[in-house]
Chains A and B, each alone.
Chain A
C-alpha cells in the first residue's frame, strides 16, 4: 500500500523523466541521490551561520549497503536526516527513489517516510509498549487493522530471533535485543530503504557483530538498500559495499569500500583508518626514523596487499629474485568488505636503485608500496 503511494509519486508529472520509461528509469535511479546539498544552521547568540553540510553530492546505489563515516560533528547525522525529511536542505536536492523529498508537502512526506525505515543509536523504543506493540507502532500509524498487524509482526519477531520476547517491555531486554526490536520495527512497513543512525554505537563489540550480521542478512535476503552513518571503522569495514568519508560537512572521499580504504588518500580517511591493521607504525620505529636517507641506512617500506594478491609470496621472491634482504617489522592482515587486505612494514637493505627495482617488481604484481622513512 505504502509502496504504491511512493511509486505514484515517481510517476508524478513533475518528474517527467520517470514517465517516459518507468521500468528502465526505476532500475537506473539510485535509491538516494544527494545533489549539491548544503545545510546551514543559525548559530546560537551570533548572526553567523554554521555550515553543517557543504555541497554534498552522493549516490546510494540500489540494493547496496552504503556507509557514511566521519567524526562526531562532521555532519553525518544531519545528512541522514535529510533522506527522510526530518531535516530540510538549505539548498540542493535530496532524491529518494527519484522523488525530491524536500519538495513534498507534509502528507506526501509522511507517505514517503513509511517507505523508509530508520534505526537509532539509543533504539528509541517506547517504554510503555511491549516488543510486539513497539513493532506494531508504525503499522498502527499506517492504519492497519489488528489482524493485519498480527500477521506482519509475528514473522518479524521471528526474523530478528526474538519470538520469545514478544510480550516483554524494553526495560526487560538487553541492548542488542532492543536494537533487534528496533530493526523489526523499521522493517514493519516493508520499506525499500533502511537508515541506520549509529545503530551499533551503544553496543559492545560482540553484539555489534551480531547486529551487523542481521543488517547484512536483511540487505541480501530482502534486497533492502541500507544507508548507515557511523564513526566506527569496524562497522563500515564489515558490511558496507560503498563508503563516503565526511569531514567538516564535506564528502572527502567516496567509492567502493575496499578501494577507499586501501587507497587511503585523504588525511581524514587515514586518521579514521588509524586503527586498521598495519596503518600505525610501531613506536620503536618512529623513534628512530629519519625522513632523508643517511649513509648505510635501511629503507622502510609499507607494502599493501589487496584482495587476491594478499595470498602470494611476493616478499620471498624479492629476496630470491632480486637478492634484496627483507626484514619484516610490523604488519597485519585484515578483511574489508569481505576481501583480504594486508599491510606489511618492512625494512630493505639496498641502495636507491635497488629499492626502485623492488618497488617496480611489487607494482608489476599489483602491490602498492610507499617509502615511509629511513632507519640507520
Chain B
C-alpha cells in the first residue's frame, strides 16, 4: 500500500471518529432526556403526559423507520440551516445526530423501564420529588443499561457513518467504497474493514467493562 493510500486511511479514520464522537455526544445529550421522558410520562407515571408521550413516541418511530440514507438526503435543507452547508464531514454530522437521538431514546427508555417499580415507590414514600426520583433512583439504577445502550449506539453510528459518503462526508466507509470498490483496490477495502472491526471491538469492550463496573446486581467474584 502506498504512502498516499495510508494518508487517506488515516484521514478517513479521523473523519469517522470525529463524526461518531460529535453525533454520539450530541445525540445522547438529547436522546437520554427524551428516553427518560418517554419512560416516565405515561398514564399514572412520574410526569403524566400521555398525549405528549404518544406524539413523541410516534415521531421517534417515524425517524427510526426511515432508512438512514433517505434521512440524509431528506433533511438536506435542515442540514444546510444548521451546518451552513449540506456537503462535507461536519454537515454529515447533522443527519447522524438526528438518527442517533431516537435510537438512544428508545434504548434508554427500555433501560429505565427495567428499573424495579418498587424502588420508585420506596423513593416516593421517602418524600422524593419526581426529579429526585429520576436522578437518584432511575438514572442511577439504569446506569448499566444506559452504558450498554450508548455502546450499541456508537457501534451503530460507526456503521451509519459509512453511508454519509453520499453527501461527501468522508470517513472509512466512503474510502472503502471509492477506492476499494470503485477503483478495484481490494487491499484498501480489506484494510478499511479491518480498521472498522478493530474500532468496533474497542468500543464494545470498553462499553462492556463500563456496564460491568456499574452493575452491582451480581455478587462480585
| Inter-chain contact B122/A118, CB cutoff 8 Å | yes
- Find A124's partner among B121, B128, B129, B218 (CB 8 Å cutoff): B121
**Number of chain A residues close to chain B: CB under 8 A:** 28
Asked, given contacts A113-B124, A116-B125, A141-B132, whether A172 binds B219 with beta carbons under 8 Å apart, the answer is yes
Shortest beta-carbon distance from A270 to chain B in Å = 33
| Inter-chain contact B219/A171, CB cutoff 8 Å | yes
| Inter-chain contact A126/B137, CB cutoff 8 Å | yes
| Inter-chain contact B140/A113, CB cutoff 8 Å | no
Residues in chain B near residue A195, CB distance under 8 A? 125
| Inter-chain contact B219/A113, CB cutoff 8 Å | no
Q: Which residue of the partner chain A has the closest CB to B125?
A: A118
Q: Which residue of the partner chain A has the closest CB to B217?
A: A127
The A139-190 residues at the B interface (CB cut-off 8 A) are 140-142, 169-172, 189
Shortest beta-carbon distance from A201 to chain B in Å = 14
Tell whether B209 is near chain A: CB-to-CB under 8 Å: no
Residues in chain B near residue A141, CB distance under 8 A? 123, 126-129, 132, 136
- Find A137's partner among B121, B136, B143, B216 (CB 8 Å cutoff): B136
Residue picked from B116, B119, B127, most chain A C-beta under 10 Å = B127
- Find A114's partner among B121, B126, B143 (CB 8 Å cutoff): B126
Residues in chain B near residue A114, CB distance under 8 A? 126-127
Tell whether B68 is near chain A: CB-to-CB under 8 Å: no
Tell whether B118 is near chain A: CB-to-CB under 8 Å: yes
Residue picked from B125, B128, B129, B216, most chain A C-beta under 10 Å = B125
| Inter-chain contact B127/A110, CB cutoff 8 Å | yes
| Inter-chain contact B219/A137, CB cutoff 8 Å | no
| Inter-chain contact B125/A128, CB cutoff 8 Å | no
Q: Which residue of the partner chain A has the closest CB to B216?
A: A169
Q: Which residue of the partner chain B has the closest CB to A142?
A: B127
The B104-123 residues at the A interface (CB cut-off 8 A) are 116, 118-119, 121-123
Tell whether B141 is near chain A: CB-to-CB under 8 Å: yes
Asked, given contacts A138-B127, A141-B123, whether A128 binds B218 with beta carbons under 8 Å apart, the answer is no
Shortest beta-carbon distance from B214 to chain A in Å = 7
| Inter-chain contact A127/B141, CB cutoff 8 Å | yes
Residues in chain A near residue B119, CB distance under 8 A? 124, 126
- Find B123's partner among A109, A112, A137 (CB 8 Å cutoff): A137
Kindly state the separation between the CA atoms of A129 and B140 in the bound complex, as whole angstroms: 9
Residues in chain B near residue A170, CB distance under 8 A? 216
Kindly state the separation between the CA atoms of A129 and B220 in the bound complex, as whole angstroms: 14
Shortest beta-carbon distance from A118 to chain B in Å = 4
Tell whether A111 is near chain B: CB-to-CB under 8 Å: yes
Tell whether A225 is near chain B: CB-to-CB under 8 Å: no
The A99-116 residues at the B interface (CB cut-off 8 A) are 109-114, 116
Shortest beta-carbon distance from B136 to chain A in Å = 7
Kindly state the separation between the CA atoms of A122 and B121 in the bound complex, as whole angstroms: 12
Asked, given contacts A86-B125, A114-B127, A127-B217, whether A120 binds B132 with beta carbons under 8 Å apart, the answer is no
Residue picked from A112, A113, A128, A140, most chain B C-beta under 10 Å = A128
The B123-168 residues at the A interface (CB cut-off 8 A) are 123-129, 132, 136-137, 140-141, 143
Residues in chain B near residue A109, CB distance under 8 A? 127
Tell whether A84 is near chain B: CB-to-CB under 8 Å: yes
- Find B122's partner among A111, A112, A124, A142 (CB 8 Å cutoff): A124
| Inter-chain contact A171/B124, CB cutoff 8 Å | no
Pairs A-B, 10 closest by C-beta atoms: A113-B127, A124-B122, A110-B127, A114-B127, A138-B126, A169-B216, A118-B125, A124-B118, A141-B128, A127-B217
Residues on A close to B: CB < 8 A?
Answer: 84, 86, 109-114, 116, 118, 120, 122, 124, 126-129, 137-138, 140-142, 169-172, 189, 195
Given contacts A169-B216, A170-B216, 17 further A-B contacts (CB under 8 A): A84-B125, A86-B125, A109-B127, A111-B127, A113-B124, A114-B127, A118-B126, A120-B122, A124-B116, A124-B119, A126-B141, A127-B141, A128-B214, A137-B136, A141-B132, A171-B217, A189-B127
